[in-house]
Amino acid sequence: MEFQVIWFILWGVLWAVYFMLDGFDFGAGILSAFLPKSESDKRKILRAIGPVWNGNEVWLLTAGGATFAAFPTTYALMFSYLYTALLLVLFSLIFRGVSLEFRGIMDSEGWRKKWDVGIFLGSFLPALLFGVAFGNIFQGLPMDVSGYHGSLLMLLNPYGLLTGVLFVLLFVEHGSLFIAVKTDGDLSERAGRLAGGLWFALLAVAVAFLIHTYFATALYANYLNNPVLFAVPMLAVLSLLGIKVFAAMGQHLKAFYASCATILMVTFTGVVGLFPNLIPSNLDRNYSLTIFNSSSSIYTLKIMTVVALIFVPIVIAYQIWTYRVFRQKTTADDVSGKEAY
């Protein structure tokens, strides 16, 4: 297997794992503005994600670093063409982190409300904008020999916005199940019921996305040429159905795992459809950025493969240890003190 293909697969895996892990952070952050009935409820939600949210973002740095090192031309042009949108994502993530850490510094309702807005916007905007960005990548950007012919407003097209809404619903569903698993009492029950209700909206948007994808993109070409690849979207469908089945049975942990699988498979569905493109051109396919015309040298990819084989397992082991240490439910006693969150 060529090293460009290996790194394309790894690139897709890194983005999928990032969306799976930071997705429940985004969802919980969005729901923290609506789901709690008391300050204690809100602190439960924020304390549940508090020990892990910044560790989850390591996968974003890894995905960005992999793009920079393995496909530098794609990285350079992506951050040039989509500069404003990506800057909005970056500022939102920074604002979210600051809001999470600063919220509990002062015992003042007005102080907390201001940072609550930051937590909500810093969770909602990245979820939406990541979806919009990937939606536009799926359908291709207006690129030719003269460069990029788009603008920020052009990214807010129907398909891009539909993908953004899909991402938001995926993450809110994911976050509600995480809250149901990680908290107790009435808050956990309400989060579980919300997950069951949101599932129908998620299903409707997912169906609309699959239909619109056929008309707006060329993602299905790889699947039609190699029908065995349809196993990937089928697994996405089965895991989505699994969410509803397990949630209806009150088995929130299994529903959360099914949600993890759904996000992974939805991401893989898009990545498989893109291959071998990284950013296709919707003006002239000769100017599409592919894994072959935008990659680093084979020697560089070989070195990176060795580095990845050493350090990625370390990151995985660290995160497994973190989740094991903080596996207990967050209770009212945990948020009774004056610590952060």
pLDDT(1) > 80: no
Binning pLDDT at 50, 70 and 90, where does residue 330 land?
confident
Binning pLDDT at 50, 70 and 90, where does residue 333 land?
low
Average pLDDT score over the chain? 92
User: Residue 290's beta-bridge partner residues?
Assistant: 277
pLDDT(340) > 60: no
Residue 306, judged by CB atoms within 10 A of its CB (0-12, 13-18, 19+), counts as exposed
- Helix or strand holding residue 277 (H, E): strand 277-279
3-state secondary structure of 328: coil
Tokens 């907390």 belong to 112
Tokens 């050493």 belong to 310
Q: Comparing 184 with 340, which gets the higher pLDDT?
A: 184
Mean pLDDT score, 130-147: 92
CA atoms within 13 A on the CB side of 166: 28
Q: Measuring CA to CA, which residue among 272, 190, 176 is closest to residue 231? A: 272
Structure tokens at 188: 């956990």
Mean pLDDT score, 112-135: 94
pLDDT(81) > 90: no
- Helix or strand holding residue 290 (H, E): strand 289-290
Mean pLDDT score, 6-16: 95
* Sign of the four-CA dihedral 156, 271, 264, 96: negative
Query: Whole-structure pTM over 0.85, yes or no?
Result: yes
Phi-psi region of 28 (alpha: psi -120 to 50; beta: other; left: phi over 0): alpha
Binning pLDDT at 50, 70 and 90, where does residue 339 land?
low
pLDDT(268) > 70: yes
Secondary structure (DSSP) of 20-85: HHHHHHHHHHHHTTTS-SSHHHHHHHHHHHTTTHHHHTHHHHHHHHHHHHH-HHHHHHHHHHTHHH
pLDDT(70) > 90: yes
State the Cα torsion 133-137-139-145 to the nearest 10°: 120
**In the chain, % of residues over pLDDT 70:** 97
Q: Measuring CA to CA, which residue among 95, 121, 109, 92 is closest to residue 43? A: 109
pLDDT tens by residue, 295-311: 999 999 999 999 999 98
pLDDT tens by residue, 208-253: 999 999 999 999 999 999 999 999 999 999 999 999 999 999 999 9
Residue 338 has a pLDDT of 60
Residue 104 has a pLDDT of 82
Residue 85 has a pLDDT of 87
Separation of alpha carbons 279 and 140, rounded Å: 6
pLDDT(337) > 70: no
